[in-house]
C-alpha cells in the first residue's frame, strides 16, 4: 500500500471513530447516529412490534354479540413480576427502543441532536402499551411531548397518550384532549382517523353510544386501512342498533358488504347476519331473506362461518313457528366448527327453551346443562338458567323413574317366550349395527364394560368376560385381549401375510380386509353378553315383593309428576294424564285421596265440569271427614285449616323444642304418611332426623339423613342433609373424650330412668338447694339421654373438685339428702356423651 492510500485510510478510520461520539454536535455525528438508529436498531424493533401485533390479531376472539372494541387487544388482570413481559415480541421491541436511546441519543446543550430519538420513544411507548404496561407507556409518550415539542410525530404521540389514558380509565380526560387534537389543522388523514376512533372508544366506555357515532363515522371515512374501515363501519352499525335505528344500522352494514374482499371476511359475514337480525318478518319479503341466507350458506368462502349462518336460519324458521326446521338449523350451528363459545350457549339455550315450552322437560334439562357449560358464570343470565335447571331436577328424576319402572313391569308381565323374542329382536339390531359399514379404517371398538348395562333394579349384573383384573393375566389365555390385539393390528397395519419383513407395504395382502374385520367382529359378538338375549332375560326381576316395590315406585313417581306439572308448570294435560294413570294402576291407598283432590282441581282448571262433579261427589261421600272434603266444601279453609301441614309442623317443632323427641318421631311418621306428596314432608323428615339424633345418637342421625338425602335430593332439606353428611358428621365421628385435668367447665349429672316426672321433681329439689345455699350462679336442667333415661344436670361448675364437693354437699346435707347415683363430667365430654350415646364408655374410662 502506497503512502497516499495509507493517508486516505487513516483519515477514513479517524472520521468513523470521531463520528461515533455522541458528545459532538457535528453533521457527521448526527447523521451517523440517526442512520444507524433508524436502519438498524429501530428497524428491528418495528419488525418485532408488528409481529407482536400480528399475534394479537390472530389470537384475539371478537364477541360479535356485543359492541366490538375499536382496537383488538385482550387486556387481562394478570399481575406480572418485575421485568416480566407478556409477549416476547413486545419485549424485543422495547429492548431495541431502549438500546437506540442508550447508544444513539445525543443530548448536547440541553437539546436532543439525533432526529430519530422521538421515533425511539414512540416505539418504546407502543411496545409497553401492547404489553399492557400502560403507566410506563404513558411515561414514554409524555416524554416525547415534553422533550420533542417540534417533532413531526408530536400529534401521533398525543393520540397514543390519549389511547393509553382510555386504557387506564381516564376517558373524560382523553375526550377533552382528543377534541383539542382534532381542532388542529396539521393532522394527516390517518391521524384524524386514529383520533376519532379513540374518541369513539372513550364514549363507548362511558356508555354514550350516541356520542360515539359521529367520531366513528369520521374515523371510517379518513382511515387508509380497509381492515380498519370494515371494522369501524361494522361497529357503527352496532351502535345504531343499540340506539334503536335499524335503518341507519343496515346502511353501515351495507358499507361493510360493499368493501367485499378488501376487509376481513368475518366482518362481511357478520354484517349480513346483523342485517338479517334487523329484518322485519311477515311483511311480504320473507322469501328474500331466506334466499339471502341460503346464498350465504352455499358460498364456499363462508364455510368457516357456517355456525353463524345456520343460527340465523334457525332464527328465521323459529320466528315463522316452523319449530322442526328451526331445531335442525340450531343443531347444525352447534355441529359446525366454531370458536364462538357464546353462540354455542345461545344455541343450547334456545333449544332448551323450545323443549321446555313443549313440556319435554327431560330433554330441556340436558340442553340447559350444555348452556351452563358454555355460558360464563359472570353473566346475570347464568343464575336464572341455573335456577330454572335446578327446578327441573324433580321432574327429570321422576320421569326417569316412572319410565324405567314402567318398562320393567311391562317386561316382567310378558311370558318367557315373549321376553326372549323381544330381546332377540333387540340384540339382532345391535349385531347389525356392529357389523355394518366396516372397512379398513373403521373397526369395532371394544370397551372394558362389554356386558349390557343392568337396567333392572335388584338384578344381578352379567359379569364381563375380560379377566384382566383377575388372576388370569397371560395374554393368549384371555380371548378378549387377543381379539383386541387383532383389532389394533388391523387398524395400524391392515391385513398382512405371515412372512419375514411383513412391515413393508408391498407385503400387504390384496384381499379385502373387510372379511377379516367381520370375522373378528363375529368372534367378539359370540363372546359378548351384550348380544345375548338371555343375558337380558335373566336380569328381569321376579317375585311378588320386587314387583310390588317397583309398582309402588312407579305410582309415587306418577303422583309426584302430576303435582309438579299442575302446581309448578300449569301443564294440566300432563298432570291429568299422570294422575289418571296412577288411579288406574292399583295405587297405595295413601295416594288415592290426594290424587283425586288434585284431579278435582285440574278438572276445574280445564273446564271439565262433569268429571269435576263426579270426583267431588266421590270425595264427599267416601271421605267426608278428610281435610280434602273440608277444602272442597270451603276453599277458604285451605289457609285457615287448623290441621294444615304448616300448622302441624309448627306444633311438632314446638314439641321438639320442649324435648319431647319420642312424640315428635311418632307424630312425624304419622303425618309423613298422611301428607304424602306435600312439600311439607321433607321438613317433617328433617325434624324427625334431628329428634332421632337427640334420642339415639349419631348413627341414627346419619341413617335418617341418608334416607332424607336420597328421597328428596333437590329440596332445601335434602341439600342440607347432604352438607351435614359430608361436612359435619365426619368431624363428630372422630370426637374423643378429653382427659385434660385443666378443663374449666363441669357438670354434675343425675341419671333418672323411665319417668320424666321424677326428673322434674329432682330438678325442683336441686333448684331449692341452690337457692337456699346461695349457689345462684349454677343452673339445673332436665336433658333427654335416651327413650328410657333422663339426665338432671347441674351446670356451670368451675372445676372437677368443686363439682365433687357440691355432689358431696347435696348428699350429706340433712335438708336434702340426695343420695341418688350421680357423676361429674366436663362440658366437652358431656357433649360427646350426648352425641354418641356412649355413657358406658365414659364411665369405664373414669
The DSSP result for 48-75, as a single string, is: HHHHHHHHHHHH----TTSPPPSS----
CA distance 212 to 180: 17
Q: Does residue 235 carry a pLDDT above 90?
A: yes
Q: What is the pLDDT of residue 217?
A: 94
For residue 752, list its beta bridge partners. 790
Integer-rounded Cα Rg, in Å, for the chain is 42
Please tell me what DSSP assigns to residue 507.
G
Q: What is the mean pLDDT of residues 340-357?
A: 92
CA distance 126 to 124: 6
Q: What is the mean pLDDT of residues 165-194?
A: 90
Q: Does residue 637 carry a pLDDT above 80?
A: no
Q: What is the mean pLDDT of residues 295-307?
A: 91
Q: What is the pLDDT of residue 465?
A: 39
Q: What is the mean pLDDT of residues 333-349?
A: 90
Q: What is the mean pLDDT of residues 700-710?
A: 87
512-552 pLDDT, tens per residue?
454 555 445 554 566 678 888 888 888 888 888 888 888 98
Q: What is the pLDDT of residue 184?
A: 82
Pairing of strands 789-797, 746-753: antiparallel
Q: Would you say 375 and 381 are in contact if contact means Cβ atoms under 8 Å apart?
A: yes
Q: Does residue 463 carry a pLDDT above 80?
A: no
Record the cell numbers describing residue 302, joined without a space: 363462508
599 pLDDT tier (thresholds 50, 70, 90)? very high
Q: Does residue 123 carry a pLDDT above 60?
A: yes
CA distance 33 to 41: 11
Q: What is the mean pLDDT of residues 79-92?
A: 74
Q: Does residue 576 carry a pLDDT above 70?
A: yes
∠ Cα 213 219 220 (to 5°): 90
443 pLDDT tier (thresholds 50, 70, 90)? very low
Question: Which residue pairs from 712-721 have beta carbons closer than 8 angstroms and sit at least 24 positions apart in sequence?
Answer: 712/681, 712/682, 712/685, 713/393, 713/397, 714/390, 714/393, 714/394, 714/397, 715/679, 715/682, 716/682, 717/682, 717/683, 717/685, 717/686, 718/682, 720/686, 721/686, 721/689
Share of the chain above pLDDT 90, in %: 27
SS3 112: strand
> For 792, phi and psi rounded to 5 degrees?
-95, 115
Sign of CA dihedral 202, 204, 210, 212: positive
312-339 pLDDT, tens per residue?
999 999 988 899 999 999 999 999 988 8
What rounded mean pLDDT belongs to the chain? Answer: 82
Q: Does residue 461 carry a pLDDT above 60?
A: no
Share of the chain above pLDDT 70, in %: 80
pTM of the predicted structure, to 2 decimals: 0.65
35 pLDDT tier (thresholds 50, 70, 90)? confident
Q: What is the pLDDT of residue 468?
A: 40
- Among candidates 523, 597, 534, which has minimal Cα distance to 562? 597
649-676 pLDDT, tens per residue?
888 888 888 888 888 998 888 888 777 6
Q: What is the mean pLDDT of residues 197-203?
A: 94
- Among candidates 695, 698, 645, 699, which has minimal Cα distance to 672? 645
SS3 541: coil
Q: Does residue 448 carry a pLDDT above 50?
A: no
267-293 pLDDT, tens per residue?
999 999 999 988 887 666 788 889 999
- Among candidates 191, 249, 197, 246, which has minimal Cα distance to 220? 197
Q: What is the pLDDT of residue 4?
A: 63
Q: Which residue has the cell 317443632?
A: 653
Q: Does residue 344 carry a pLDDT above 80?
A: yes
CB-hemisphere CA count at 13 Å for 18?
Answer: 11
Q: What is the mean pLDDT of residues 38-64?
A: 83
Record the cell numbers describing residue 75, joined without a space: 387486556
Other residues' Cβ atoms within 10 Å of the Cβ of residue 658: 10
Residue 749, H or E segment = strand 746-753
CA distance 212 to 235: 10
CA-to-CA dists, residue 753 to 698, 787, 789, 819, 824, angstroms: 21, 9, 4, 15, 18
Q: What is the pLDDT of residue 469?
A: 41
Name the more confident of 164 and 744: 164
Q: Does residue 11 carry a pLDDT above 70?
A: no
Q: What is the pLDDT of residue 30?
A: 63
For residue 750, list its beta bridge partners. 792
Q: What is the pLDDT of residue 258?
A: 93
Q: Which residue has the cell 310390588?
A: 548
20 pLDDT tier (thresholds 50, 70, 90)? low
Q: What is the pLDDT of residue 311?
A: 93
Q: Does residue 557 carry a pLDDT above 70?
A: yes
- Among candidates 798, 761, 800, which has minimal Cα distance to 778? 798
Record the cell numbers describing residue 392, joined without a space: 327441573
- Among candidates 642, 611, 639, 615, which has minimal Cα distance to 629? 615
SS3 782: strand
Q: Would you say 275 and 255 are in contact if contact means Cβ atoms under 8 Å apart?
A: no
Amino acid at each position: 500500500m502506497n503512502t497516499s492510500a495509507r493517508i486516505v485510510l487513516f483519515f477514513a478510520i479517524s472520521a468513523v471513530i470521531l463520528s461515533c461520539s455522541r458528545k459532538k454536535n457535528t453533521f457527521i455525528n448526527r447523521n451517523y447516529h440517526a442512520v444507524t438508529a433508524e436502519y438498524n436498531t429501530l428497524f428491528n424493533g418495528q419488525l418485532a412490534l408488528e409481529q407482536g401485533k400480528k399475534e394479537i390479531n390472530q389470537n384475539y376472539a371478537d364477541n360479535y354479540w356485543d359492541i366490538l372494541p375499536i382496537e383488538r387487544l385482550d387486556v387481562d388482570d394478570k399481575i406480572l413480576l418485575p421485568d416480566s413481559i407478556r409477549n416476547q415480541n413486545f419485549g424485543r421491541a422495547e429492548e431495541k427502543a431502549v438500546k437506540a436511546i442508550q447508544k444513539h441519543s445525543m443530548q448536547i446543550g440541553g437539546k436532543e441532536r439525533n432526529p430519530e430519538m422521538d421515533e425511539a420513544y414512540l416505539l418504546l411507548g407502543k411496545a409497553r402499551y401492547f404489553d399492557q404496561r400502560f403507566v410506563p407507556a404513558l411515561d414514554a409518550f409524555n416524554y416525547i411531548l415534553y422533550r420533542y415539542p417540534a417533532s413531526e410525530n408530536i400529534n401521533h404521540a398525543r393520540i397514543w397518550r390519549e389511547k393509553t389514558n382510555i386504557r387506564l380509565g381516564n376517558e373524560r380526560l382523553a375526550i377533552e384532549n382528543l377534541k383539542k387534537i382534532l381542532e388542529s389543522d396539521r393532522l394527516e388523514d390517518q391521524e384524524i382517523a386514529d383520533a376519532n376512533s379513540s374518541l369513539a372508544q372513550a364514549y363507548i366506555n362511558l356508555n354514550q353510544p350516541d356520542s360515539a357515532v359521529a367520531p366513528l363515522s369520521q374515523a371510517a371515512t379518513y382511515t387508509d386501512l380497509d381492515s380498519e374501515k370494515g371494522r369501524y363501519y361494522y361497529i357503527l352499525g352496532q351502535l345504531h342498533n343499540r340506539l334503536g335505528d335499524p335503518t341507519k344500522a343496515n346502511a353501515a352494514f351495507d358499507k361493510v358488504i360493499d368493501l367485499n374482499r378488501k376487509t376481513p371476511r368475518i366482518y362481511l359475514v357478520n354484517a349480513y347476519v346483523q342485517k338479517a337480525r334487523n329484518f322485519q318478518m311477515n311483511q311480504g319479503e320473507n322469501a328474500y331473506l331466506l334466499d339471502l341466507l341460503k346464498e350465504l350458506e352455499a358460498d364456499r368462502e363462508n364455510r368457516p362461518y357456517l355456525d353463524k349462518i345456520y343460527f340465523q336460519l334457525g332464527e328465521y324458521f323459529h320466528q315463522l313457528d316452523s319449530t322442526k326446521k328451526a331445531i335442525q338449523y340450531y343443531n347444525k350451528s352447534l355441529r359446525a366448527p366454531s370458536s364462538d363459545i357464546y353462540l354455542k350457549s345461545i344455541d343450547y339455550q334456545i333449544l332448551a327453551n323450545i323443549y321446555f315450552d313443549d313440556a319435554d322437560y327431560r330433554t330441556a334439562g340436558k340442553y340447559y346443562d350444555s348452556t351452563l357449560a358454555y355460558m360464563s358464570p359472570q353473566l346475570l343470565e347464568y343464575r336464572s338458567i341455573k335456577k330454572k335447571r335446578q327446578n327441573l331436577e324433580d321432574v327429570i328424576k321422576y320421569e326417569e323413574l316412572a319410565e324405567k319402572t314402567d318398562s320393567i313391569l311391562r317386561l316382567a308381565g310378558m311370558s318367557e317366550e315373549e321376553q326372549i323374542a323381544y330381546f332377540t329382536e333387540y340384540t339382532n339390531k345391535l349385531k347389525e349395527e356392529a357389523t355394518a359399514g366396516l372397512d379398513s379404517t373403521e373397526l369395532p371398538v371394544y370397551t372394558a364394560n362389554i356386558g349390557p348395562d343392568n337396567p333392572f333394579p335388584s338384578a344381578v349384573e352379567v359379569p364381563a368376560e375380560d379377566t384382566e383384573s383377575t388372576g388370569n393375566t397371560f395374554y393368549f389365555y384371555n380371548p378378549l385381549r387377543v381379539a383386541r390385539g387383532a383389532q389394533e393390528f388391523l387398524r395400524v397395519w391392515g391385513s398382512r401375510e405371515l412372512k419375514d419383513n411383513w412391515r413393508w407395504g408391498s407385503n400387504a395382502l390384496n384381499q379385502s380386509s373387510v372379511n377379516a374385520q367381520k370375522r373378528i367382529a363375529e368372534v367378539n359378538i359370540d363372546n359378548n353378553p351384550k348380544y345375548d338375549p338371555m343375558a337380558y332375560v335373566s336380569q328381569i326381576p321376579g317375585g311378588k315383593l320386587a314387583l310390588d316395590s317397583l309398582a309402588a315406585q312407579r305410582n309415587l313417581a306418577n303422583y309426584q309428576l302430576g303435582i309438579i306439572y299442575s302446581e309448578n308448570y300449569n301443564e294440566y294435560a300432563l298432570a291429568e294424564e299422570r294422575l289418571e294413570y296412577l288411579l288406574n294402576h292399583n295405587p297405595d291407598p295413601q295416594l288415592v285421596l290426594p290424587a283425586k283432590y288434585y284431579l278435582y282441581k285440574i278438572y276445574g282448571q280445564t273446564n271439565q265440569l262433569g268429571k269435576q262433579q263426579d270426583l267431588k261427589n266421590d270425595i264427599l261421600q267416601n271421605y267426608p271427614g278428610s281435610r280434602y272434603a273440608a277444602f272442597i266444601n270451603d276453599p277458604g279453609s285451605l289457609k285457615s285449616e287448623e290441621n294444615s301441614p304448616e300448622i302441624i309442623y309448627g306444633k311438632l317443632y314446638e314439641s321438639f323444642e320442649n324435648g319431647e323427641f319420642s312424640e315428635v318421631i311418632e307424630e312425624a311418621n304419622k303425618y309423613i304418611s298422611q301428607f304424602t306428596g306435600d312439600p311439607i314432608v321433607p321438613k317433617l323428615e328433617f325434624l324427625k332426623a334431628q329428634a332421632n339424633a337427640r334420642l339415639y345418637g349419631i348413627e341414627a342421625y346419619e341413617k335418617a339423613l341418608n334416607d332424607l338425602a336420597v328421597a328428596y335430593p333437590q329440596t332445601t332439606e335434602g341439600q342440607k342433609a347432604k352438607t351435614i353428611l359430608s361436612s359435619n358428621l365426619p368431624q363428630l365421628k372422630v370426637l374423643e373424650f378429653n382427659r385434660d385435668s385443666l378443663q374449666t367447665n363441669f357438670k354434675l349429672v343425675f341419671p333418672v330412668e323411665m319417668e320424666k316426672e321424677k326428673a322434674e321433681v329432682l330438678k325442683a329439689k336441686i333448684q331449692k338447694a341452690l337457692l337456699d345455699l346461695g349457689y345462684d350462679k349454677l343452673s339445673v336442667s332436665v336433658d333427654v339421654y335416651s327413650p328410657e333415661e333422663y339426665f338432671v344436670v347441674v351446670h356451670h361448675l368451675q372445676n372437677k373438685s368443686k363439682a365433687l364437693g357440691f355432689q358431696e354437699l347435696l348428699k350429706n346435707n340433712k335438708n336434702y339428702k340426695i343420695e341418688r347415683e350421680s357423676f361429674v363430667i366436663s362440658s366437652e365430654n358431656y357433649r360427646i356423651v350426648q352425641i354418641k350415646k356412649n355413657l358406658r364408655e365414659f364411665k369405664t374410662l373414669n
